[in-house]
Amino acid sequence: MTSNIVPLIDCSTINGNFDEISAIDLNAVANEIGAAMTGIGMCNLINHGVDMKKIETIYKVSDKFFNLPEEKKLKYRCDVQTKSIHGYGCAGDQKFTEATELKEWWYVAGLDADHECKYPNEEIPEFKLAFDDIRSDLKNLTKIFLRCVEIYLKLEEEFLISKHQNLGLKKHIEMRSLYYYTIKPEDKIPENSIRLGEHQDFGTVTFVMQDLVGGLEVKTSDNKWIEAVPVKDAILVNSGLLLEYWTGGLFHAAPHRVKKLPDMRMNARPRQSFVYFADPDEGTHVYPTLPVLPQKKMEFERFGNRVIESTSFIQGLIDASTIRRY
């Protein structure tokens, strides 16, 4: 039986530079992280060392962008014909279920993100800088988190970290700023619409920073939906499908979604979140390093009990959820 509350983990003893954190402190927090990720599949990290003022800056520049006139935003729309997902996306560009998803987003993706022309710097000069500024904080947190996973699972030191050396250089997504705009009573929206359809994340681990509006739900390993209640200045962490496969199903890749709220919370103000995807280096081979859990054997049949290449796996899932505009 899993908990109905996303566990809260205090990282104050391990929130410094990765190379300066003691093994004793890592071991203590690793046990808490392992218990959370093998249970509900998510946890909230507090006192994590990431500068939340930088996240507030991302929210501010994102809000400016999403409130630009439509024609200006569309100048930066993702170029799906070239399979580049860097840039702007809006309702109708992506869906994980048959429901219409009522959201906008900005992707920072791979090498495309290096080019100044790929950002709305003309309209918002500080836009690119806001995303660049948070990168080192999140890379450090990724190393700390992966080391805790290695400790908990008794994996060889650097087993996971060594496969995540090129964060931000891959071809797929690195960061995503999401904007769930307000819905007015007079707005005509599809009956089957949702904010974000049910899905599991694709890669290793995802770090989610969300405002306090709410709406995010997670499905536990007991197949019960619970609300991932926002915690001020916390970072929500969830396993991706590749980490689930790597661990033989022990680390649960929790399905999640964002629903339309029945009350006025999302009508009074938009919901914003910022997401950082820590995925393996291009060409990484992923396979179960632990015995596959009995309840996961049927689910893992889609992998054919074989080694899978991380980049093509993730790209395939991105393609499957992207609506082509030809």
Q: Is the pLDDT of residue 67 over 90?
A: yes
Cα 238 from Cα 30, distance rounded (Å): 15
* Percent above pLDDT 90 for the chain: 59
Q: What are the two backbone dihedrals, phi and then psi, of residue 61, each rounded to the nearest 5 degrees? A: -70, -35
Residues 113-119 have a mean pLDDT of 71
Tens digit of pLDDT for each residue in 231-280? 999 999 999 999 999 999 999 899 988 887 665 555 567 899 999 999 99
Q: Specify whether the CB–CB gap between 68 and 75 falls below 8 A.
A: no
The per-residue pLDDT for range 140-158, each reduced to its tens digit, is 999 999 999 999 999 999 9
Query: Between the CA atoms of 317, 201, 220 and 46, what dihedral angle is there, to the nearest 10 degrees?
Result: 180
pLDDT of residue 273: 96
| Distance of alpha carbon 121 from alpha carbon 116, whole angstroms | 7
The answer for residues whose C-beta is within 8 angstroms of residue 83's C-beta and 6 or more apart is 315, 319
DSSP string covering 290-319: SPPPGGGTTGGGGGTTS-EEHHHHHHHHHH
Q: Which residue has the higher pLDDT, 89 or 101?
A: 89
Give the tokens for residue 103: 């959201």
What structural domains and CATH numbers belong to the chain?
8-321 (2.60.120.330)
The greatest distance separating any two alpha carbons of the chain, rounded to the nearest whole angstrom, comes to 58
pLDDT (average), residues 169-177: 75
Instruction: Check whether 172 has a pLDDT greater than 70.
Output: no
Q: Residues 141-159, buried b or exposed e (16+ Cβ, 10 A)?
A: bbbbbbbbbbbbbebeeee
State percent of the chain over pLDDT 70: 88
What's residue 326's pLDDT?
36
**Mean model confidence pLDDT for the chain:** 87
